Amino acid sequence: MKFRLFFAFTLFINAAIFAQSTQKPVLHGQHWMAITGKPLAATAGAMTFQKGGNAIDAACAMLAATCTMWDVLSWGGETQALIYHPQTKKVIAINALGVAPTGATADFFKNKGMKYPPGDGPLAAVTPGTPGGLLTMLAEYGTMSLKDVLAPAMQLAKGYPIEKQTADMMERNKKKLKEWPYSKQVFLPHLGEEREAPQAGEIFVQTDLLATLQKLVDAEQAALKAGKSRKEAIYAANTRFYQGDIAQEFVRGCQEQGGLITTQDLAKWKVLIEEPTQTNYRGIEVYKLKEWTQGPAMLQALNILENFDLKNMGFNTAKYIHTLYQSMNMAFADRDFYYGDPYHGAVEPIKGLLSKEYAKQRAKMINLDKNDPKVKPGDPYPFEGKTNPFLPVLEKWGAGPATSALDFNAPNFSADPIFLNGFYAGTTSIQAADKDGWVVSITPSGGWLPATIAGRTGVGMSQRMQAFVLDPSENPFNVVEPGKRPRVTLTPSLALKDGKPFLSFAVQGGDSQDQNLLQFFLNVVEFGMNVQEACEAPNINSFQMRSSFDDHLSKPGELLLNENTPPWTRKTLQEMGYRMGFEARTSGPINAIFFDWKHGSFWGGSSNHGEDYGIGW
């Protein structure tokens, strides 16, 4: 009897192991897929699909919900999106990034004794972009009314049981939150008690934000009653936010607390619908946003890596890790010097940067036997038939204050929590797809805790100004100026194969985003992983690029590995000159959809890293 029980138990364990090789199961759906950073927000997407909405409607509902839940972002942040349009069979890019306000010059911040714009507070704020981004996507490509799409978020604003992660973040940051009167009122409902933030599971109420969302719906409904079309009515809500009473209160609250944003800044700002950047990797078209994000750096890395036989190197062998690390560092060095707002100032050499011939030149520069902690930006201008106007600056690049001093003889690095928190500064990601062919990949951010709320709007202001530099010797394309967009880390992704959607994927995590997304893509394409396996697979992280946050530090030669990396791989990498650190989970919170055209279904992958969650049908 004991033997039979033991045998049955063993069969049960073995069946469980072989039934699921990942910590979370693959999501399967035939009609739609909704994935984002919070379970309740994924439910908002599912609710919208069940009401008959398309992927745009559902993505907008999830975006509104995550902003309302402060999923490391707020309504005053920025939204970046890629959309596949099934009728035109084209990928569309949405640029809803705010701009530096009036008075935000390099001299302004230098005169305050700052090396960079601040990381939080009113002076960190660019103009809010997420409301405009959501309203533009919904008006142009959605099918539902704003009233219906905002309904889940408005229910959340009326009160929802807050999660422990967000509630604890409020408590940890309460000293900072008390500096800003409107933030203190919202985030610290128990002032004077030992714990001043909400408890996990407590009903968290946002009366001012609910009123703001109601004003948007009221503007839409009034326009509909006046005979306006669905699109015109949604844009009426946009006008009320950026030019009406909401704008006036936002500016009043911002300036009261020391911010620079004016009513003219809000009224002039517009969402841009763009052509995305792209490259072709072994027959797969990979799309990213323009160089106002770090997205093209992943395309550059793919172009470099295409010159190597990655599959035969083997997944996460020392040779593969070394080749990947060096290629990423070259691409990110170019990011740090050449990327910026293409609509303001000097024009970035993006054609040269994405040239396959430029990538071949960079690939030949990789020392296959030794780590190079001094990788510098290249010169892409000749690949556009031009002369680099910044050669004198480029020759001196790398010796400035942005690079931290390190002992390269030390065998391992000790993680600096302040540096890592900035480097991995989080946000959320949103993935949606439907049976009619619409696909949406979004990486919204900004206005994360500790956020400064602007007056009685309930809207947290962005902290994206910190991504600018003040010294053109660091990046001549990304020096802060009024009306200019900072170069951000936010980077949704889409890939097409044989002219049809193949992968939709995004991740949170600051400067690590395109490192994790690059490896996710290679996991699927080179190593045959399914979408959930690729989300969970151990990645590496380089810290050689300059952080886009706080003091913009870098840590050349440092390499983060999964703690399961075998000793022989560690030994080889150490001999190649790497300083290594190890963590149990290194994949980053990736969310993704794979399109199974053979069976007419979706495969969803949702990160096992945090609270990310997906629902399919």
For 329-354, give the DSSP string. HHHHHHHHHH-S-TTSSSPP-HHHHT
- What angle separates helix 55-68 from helix 146-158, to the nearest 10 degrees? 20
pLDDT digits (tens, 9 = 90+) for 259-298: 999 999 999 999 999 999 999 999 999 999 999 999 999 9
Residue whose C-alpha is closest to residue 504's, from 254, 268, 287, 278: 287
- Can you tell me the distance from the alpha carbon of 525 to that of 306, in angstroms, rounded to the nearest whole number? 12
Share of the chain above pLDDT 70, in %: 92
Q: Taking 90 as the threshold, does the pLDDT of residue 419 lie above it?
A: no
Mean pLDDT of the chain: 93
Q: How would you classify the pairing of strands 272-274 and 90-96?
A: antiparallel
**Entry pTM:** 0.94
Altogether, the residues listed in the chain come to a count of 617
Per-position b or e across 131-146, b if 16+ CB within 10 A of its CB: bbbbbbbbbbbbebbb
Q: Taking 60 as the threshold, does the pLDDT of residue 20 lie above it?
A: no
- Can you tell me the distance from the alpha carbon of 403 to that of 329, in angstroms, rounded to the nearest whole number? 14
pLDDT grade for 610, boundaries at 50, 70 and 90: confident
The pLDDT value recorded for residue 21 is: 87
What are the residues facing 285 on neighbouring strands? 280, 496
Per-position b or e across 444-471, b if 16+ CB within 10 A of its CB: bbbbbbbbbbbbbbbbbbbbbbbbbbbe
The pLDDT value recorded for residue 399 is: 52
Q: Dig out the tokens for 608 from the structure.
A: 């096992």
Mean pLDDT of 510-520: 95
Return the half-sphere exposure (C-beta side, CA atoms, 13 A cut-off) of residue 324.
30
pLDDT digits (tens, 9 = 90+) for 37-65: 999 999 999 999 999 999 999 999 999 99
DSSP per-residue string spanning 426-462: ----EEEEETTS-EEEE--B-SPSSP-B-GGG-PBBP
Q: Dig out the tokens for 491 from the structure.
A: 């980077």
pLDDT digits (tens, 9 = 90+) for 426-472: 789 999 999 999 999 999 999 999 999 999 999 999 999 999 999 99
SS3 call for 278: strand
The pLDDT value recorded for residue 421 is: 66
- Can you tell me the distance from the alpha carbon of 590 to that of 587, in angstroms, rounded to the nearest whole number? 7
- Can you tell me the distance from the alpha carbon of 562 to that of 321, in angstroms, rounded to the nearest whole number? 12
- Can you tell me the distance from the alpha carbon of 70 to that of 167, in angstroms, rounded to the nearest whole number? 10
SS3 call for 206: coil
